[in-house]
Amino acid sequence: MRHAYTWAILLVTLSTGSAWAQSSGGFGTMDSGIGEVSPGGGFGAEYGGGFGYGTMGPTDYHGIHAYRENPNDGGKLQVIWTGPEAAKSQAIYERLSQEESKLRFIDTPLEEVAEYLKRLHNVSILLDLEELKKNKLDHELPITIDITDQSAQVALDLLCDRYHLGWYVEKGVLMITTQEDAERHSSVRIYKLHQLNANGVVTIVTKMVQPKSWATNDGDADIVAIADRQMLVIRQNRAAHAEIETLLKSLEAAK
């Protein structure tokens, strides 16, 4: 008799749990898509309180709700840098995206090229001599290049790609270093969205921009959606941040 009573309780419990799972979607399941998750009141709570997908996987939802139905903030995509001298660093970065650089050099030492860029764009530039030395490079690395009609950012990228160099802006200084060091160096930026839904965009960004770099794929980069403010907080390297900003601006314009 005691065993029959125990089995009855077990059956009722299982039946109730199954009904709950079907009605509410169950733990980590979303019938209406990732874009309709409730913020939950915590930083990144829509993903189980962690970065990226948290307890969810990319197959746990049925669609990506990338756009907001009624955007009412009246603004546009904003990118906000964080950290020491953040405003100064962002101003330098934006200046480099707007101003053109003409790089015409034949066997010119890297330090002279850096000095030329410093005077041309009125920015502080340093060479990371220690990192360059580790990779058997130095300040006298001969640069031969001819680039015109490109922004300073694009010109720097082309120069660095040719000579296995990298660059980033931090604490109000443009640092020229090795490609590997630039890829390792990360910073946090806040993306205030206008047309886009923060939850849905997380999936797009992590799939389209350096997919292997994210924590969900055992990388070092992190992304958090603050759903009630339609913000993304992203820790990535400079090149990835540039790709993210371009992607989000294109998505905003495509609505």
pTM of the model: 0.74
For 21, which DSSP code? H
Cβ–Cβ under 8 Å, residues 185 and 239: no
Residue 26 placed within a domain: no
> What is the residue type of 16?
T
In the three-class reduction of DSSP (H, G, I as helix; E, B as strand; rest coil), residue 32 is classed as coil
For residue 137, the enclosing domain spans 86-183
Residue 188 placed within a domain: no
Residue 136 placed within a domain: yes
pLDDT in tens, the chain (255 residues): 444 444 343 333 434 443 333 333 332 333 333 333 333 333 333 333 333 444 334 444 446 889 988 766 567 899 999 999 999 999 999 999 999 999 999 999 999 999 999 999 999 999 999 999 999 999 999 999 999 999 999 999 999 999 999 999 999 999 999 999 999 999 999 999 999 999 999 999 999 999 999 999 999 999 999 999 999 999 999 999 999 999 999 999 887
Are both 91 and 151 inside the same structural domain? yes
DSSP string covering 91-146, please?
A: HHHHHHHHSEEEEEEEEEEHHHHHHHHHHHHT--EEE-HHHHHHTT--TT-EEEEE
From CA 32, how far away is CA 30, in angstroms rounded?
6
User: Which residue, of 124, 155, 183, is where some domain finishes?
Assistant: 183
Residue 24 placed within a domain: no
Cβ–Cβ under 8 Å, residues 202 and 187: no
CATH assignment at residue 140: 3.55.50.30
User: Which residue, of 137, 157, 183, is where some domain finishes?
Assistant: 183
Cβ–Cβ under 8 Å, residues 123 and 117: yes
Are both 111 and 176 inside the same structural domain? yes
How many structural domains comprise the chain? 2
Are both 66 and 151 inside the same structural domain? no
Are both 95 and 176 inside the same structural domain? yes
Residue 114 placed within a domain: yes
User: Which residue, of 183, 212, 239, is where some domain finishes?
Assistant: 183
Residue 135 placed within a domain: yes
Residue 27 placed within a domain: no
Residue pointed to by tokens 């992304």: 223
